[in-house]
Every structure is written in C-alpha cells, then in structure tokens.
Amino acid sequence: MHRTPQQVFADHGNRLGTGDLDQISQNYTEDAVFVTPEGVLTGRQGVQEGIGRLLADLPDADWQLTPHFAGDVLFLEWTATSAEHQVTDGVDTFVFKDGLISAQTVRYTLTPRPTSNA
C-alpha cells in the first residue's frame, strides 16, 4: 500500500508520541540515511539511535511543528521546550520514497533553559 508523504508524516508523529523507537523506525526504509549534527547514521538502527538521542535530550517536551510539503520532500520547522532544554531553530528535511522515509536531515541547536529565581 502506497502512502502519501502527508500520511507517513502523520503516522510518524503518532509513533513519536509513544516513544517506541522500534515502531518509529518502521516509517523508514531499511537503508535510510539519518543526518544529525553529530554525524551520519544509516539504516533503521541508525534512525533509532538518532531519534533516541533527541528524545533523551527533550523528555516530556512541548513541541511546535510547522510542516511545508514540496512533492516527496517535507521541510519541517520546529521548536521544543523541556524542563531543562530548549530548541529554537530546529529544521528537519525528510525525503519520501515508496511510502516510507528514505532520508532525513536534522538540524537544531540545543541550549540549556534559563533558570529563574523565585
């Protein structure tokens, strides 16, 4: 069954919400390329590792997403805020192939959240 990029992305968001890295990686091709600020990861195992790192840095985060589709490519602008960290300039690029994600580039800057004195 062929899924549109919009359908894959909606499913991806639902799976991210569960935090189940095995389920999340099923939205990627077997030979997916996952490019992070730390380097290039490949395959579903690499996807699990890369997304796992991001979720670990931002547990229980409040995510704000703005997707822009252009055919089989999605540009996703995002921010996230957790108790300890924030991302203000996140940009992901997804490339879709045959109803799955074949490549993703993740760019963001993670900064400690300022502490406030009561």
The average pLDDT across 81-109 equals 94
Q: List strand residue ranges (DSSP E) for 1-118, in order.
A: 28-36, 39-42, 62-70, 73-81, 85-97, 100-107, 110-112
| H-assigned helices in 27-91 | 43-57
User: What pLDDT shows up at residue 3?
Assistant: 87
Write out pLDDT tens, residues 4-28. Answer: 999 999 999 899 888 899 999 999 9
CA 107 and chain centroid, separation: 10
The pTM is what? Answer: 0.88
The phi, psi pair for 37, rounded to 5°, reads -60, -25
How far apart (Å, rounded) are the C-alpha atoms in residues 40 and 58? 21
User: What pLDDT shows up at residue 116?
Assistant: 65
